[in-house]
Amino acid sequence: MVRQGIKRKKVQDAITGWAFVSPIMIGMLLFLAFPLTFAFIISFSNYSLGTGFEASNFAFIGFTNYISAFHDEYFMQGMINILITCIGVPIGLVIALLLSSLLVSNPRFSIVFKSIYYVPTICGAVAITFIWSWMFSPMYGIINTMLTDMGLETVNFLGKDLFLPSMITIGIWSSLGTSILLLFASLKGISKSLYEAANIDGANFIQKFFHITLPAVSPTVFYILVTGIAGTFQEFTLFQVMRGGVVTMWSITPAWWIYNYASGGYGFNLGYASAMGVILGLFILIISAIQFIVSRLWVHYDS
């Protein structure tokens, strides 16, 4: 009887546990596992939305879509553009680390400044894009207006030469708040006794930074780098809205180009769009894996 009671209790606990996790599991299956599997399968086909699954309209064509993607000038240029844009992630990280250090050393108004820095994070991507497009406008933008008032020539920030640097600037500004909050929490967690011991040993600011501060916040820095670079590779809204939907070689991103094929701009070619999506996903996976491997050399976790 005791064994049966224990067994019945285990069964009840298992049912209760599965009942609680089932909404998440069902959601992952419907909105993650199934779409990923379906996209991978049709990436080897000529499937287009509206043709249905008739045998004559749904044929497997092997690696044709993948070969076409690697020969697609816009897709490959988009990969290059987004690689350049990723430069903004470490730059923003350095700025966030400096500002976080200042907030920790001067905590009097840190709550106010953290709130100000975090405002762009809670704004929608479209709202942020429209704000910066107004600031960058060559005709009525605030930046060019100031340049004109100073007797200087206006600058075309959204032209071919300065478009990517402008996007990098916006990316740094919009992601700064989250990085500051994460780094601020990490810096606050460093024991003051470590700095006191370093002062006794005669360590200078640079030595304390590289031997105490940086190792202590390295897990947070690593997290920001991985998520920031992965998010930048999936950038879509900023580039599309800033360019007004006009596709050019110097402003295209992989996600935007995939959207054009999947949304009907180029015939609802879902097979080809899925192949480009798989390539982009694998590239993000490889970049992330490299970061994890290299992280063993500089990321320090508390034992």
Output DSSP code: residue 54.
Answer: -
Q: For the chain, what are the domain ranges?
A: 1-35, 70-295
pLDDT of residue 105: 81
Q: Would you say 181 and 110 are in contact if contact means Cβ atoms under 8 Å apart?
A: no
Q: Tokens 């100000």 map to which residue?
A: 116
Torsion of CA 161, 241, 87, 257, to 10 degrees: -90
pLDDT of residue 50: 65
Q: Would you say 80 and 163 are in contact if contact means Cβ atoms under 8 Å apart?
A: no
pLDDT of residue 107: 77
**Domain 70-295 carries which CATH code?**
1.10.3720.10
What averages of pLDDT result for each successive group of 10 residues across the chain (303 residues)? Answer: 70 85 90 91 86 62 94 96 96 93 82 84 84 86 87 87 94 92 91 88 86 92 96 92 87 94 82 95 96 93 67
Q: How many CA atoms lie within 13 A of 1 on its CB side?
A: 0
Its pTM stands at: 0.87
pLDDT of residue 5: 65
- Compute the distance between CA of residue 72 and CA of residue 94 in angstroms, rounded to an integer: 35
